[in-house]
Amino acid sequence: MLKFTIRLLLVASLAGALLSAAQPAEAQTKPRHTWPGDMQGWYPFQTGSAPKPSFANGPGAPRGEGSIGVHAPNTVPTNSGAGMSRGDFRNTPLSDLNISYWAYSNSSASEGPWWEITLFIRTGGPADPANDNSANCALTYRYSPDAVANVWSKHVPTAAPGGPGGMGWVIRGDMFAGCSFDPNNNAHPPGTWWNRASWSQILSAYPYAVIAPNNWTTIYMQIYNGSATPVSGAIDDVVINGIIWDFEVEPPPAEFFDPGDGRYDPQPGDRLAAYCQRRHLVIYGVDNNSRGFELGTFEFEALKRAGRRGIYFDKGIDGIVSASMGPQGHIWVAWTGGQYNASGRPEHGFAKLVKCD
């Protein structure tokens, strides 16, 4: 009933909105400060008997003071993992992805650990953005352990060269039968754990593939331990398509929006702030003290396919943020409910018409 009501509100608001808008803002490049009080869309998880990831200062993090990972005295037991997942970037073409991150481990054992990243994809092209099980394949990037433990190293999965025992991609037929990979195949073709595929081989194999959800998850990263030695490790400075996540223990200093900070069409009394980026729209809420916090990221391609029915994110105590795109590319964004009594009305500053060119 709530979803139906939100969709009606979106349709009515979009139809009644004026289709004139100010010039779009420049892309936001500021790192997203990610800490226990605001995970910026990341969701921690663990497998086996591993502990959940935790935040810590150091060790010598590449960006800021903190990182997230499995920190001493916690360990990742044998054949266990701990990591973080996301549910966005839906319908982003694989050919448009650029990913990098910095990883750290206290071990250089040949069996791991690896800070690997897994992408869920739909090999045939765009899927229904409302379907949380559109993926029909999964790809995992894994690299050989670094020769020296306790050193941060940068990894760029979307530039992986592949090859036996090196950095590259595995086509996860063990997760989806349609991926055409048998992990027990002794022939070791490219895309197996033994002979990993390069990123260019992946793009050649799946030229029409896009990011798609599997039980909501589209991307996850985890530290995996296949050795008998307990390990701890961390990750920081994760970058996906120009969006930077900086993991820190403490909250960011109080930030106050001002009309010159790159927002789209800032107006007095705004309670939501919109940032046009290359492939998506980022929405921030503004609390009662004029401090901003992220409400959601809407992919343009997903909004196009959702049409007037729109897409919404339930932010729990902070309410619901929704967006829908009209035929000319205008996006109506509304924030309703939650602890700030968001009304979803433009005259109260809780809604805005955005045009990202």
Characterize the bridge pairing of strands 32-34 and 243-247: parallel
Is the pLDDT score of 25 beyond 60? no
% of the chain beyond a pLDDT of 90: 40
The two three-digit tokens of residue 337, written as one number: 């409910």
CB-based contacts of 297: which residues, under 8 Å, 6+ apart? Answer: 41, 88, 280, 281, 282, 283
| Mean per-residue pLDDT over the chain, rounded | 83
Is the pLDDT score of 8 beyond 60? no
Side by side, the strands of the sheet bearing 292-299 are 272-276, 280-286, 292-299
Confidence of residue 96 (pLDDT cuts 50, 70, 90): very high
Q: How far apart are CA 190 and CA 182, in angstroms?
A: 11
Lowest mean pLDDT among 106-110, 160-164, 257-261: 257-261
Quick one: pLDDT at residue 209?
A: 95
The predicted-structure confidence for 304-348, as pLDDT tens digits, reads as follows: 888 888 888 888 788 899 999 998 899 999 999 988 999 999 999
The predicted-structure confidence for 123-138, as pLDDT tens digits, reads as follows: 999 988 778 899 999 9
Q: How far apart are CA 133 and CA 51, in angstroms?
A: 27
User: In order of start, what are the domains of the chain with their CATH numbers?
Assistant: 2-28+262-355 (no CATH), 32-247 (2.60.120.260)
Q: Which helix (H) or strand (E) holds 322?
A: strand 320-325
Confidence of residue 259 (pLDDT cuts 50, 70, 90): very low
Q: Are 91 and 145 in contact (CB under 8 A)?
A: no
The predicted-structure confidence for 141-171, as pLDDT tens digits, reads as follows: 988 766 567 889 899 999 999 988 788 999 9
| Exposure class string for 103-127: b at 16+ Cβ within 10 A, else e | bbbbbbeebbbbbbbbbbbbbeebb
Quick one: pLDDT at residue 9?
A: 37
pTM of the predicted model over 0.85: no
Quick one: pLDDT at residue 19?
A: 31
The predicted-structure confidence for 45-91, as pLDDT tens digits, reads as follows: 998 888 889 999 978 899 999 999 988 777 888 888 899 999 989 99
Quick one: pLDDT at residue 297?
A: 87
Measured from the Cβ of residue 162, the count of other Cβ atoms closer than 10 Å reads 18
- In order, the DSSP letters of 119-147 are EEEETTS---TT-TB---EEEEEE-PPPS
Whose structure tokens read 């398509």? 241
Ranges 17-26, 197-206, 265-274, 311-320, most confident: 197-206
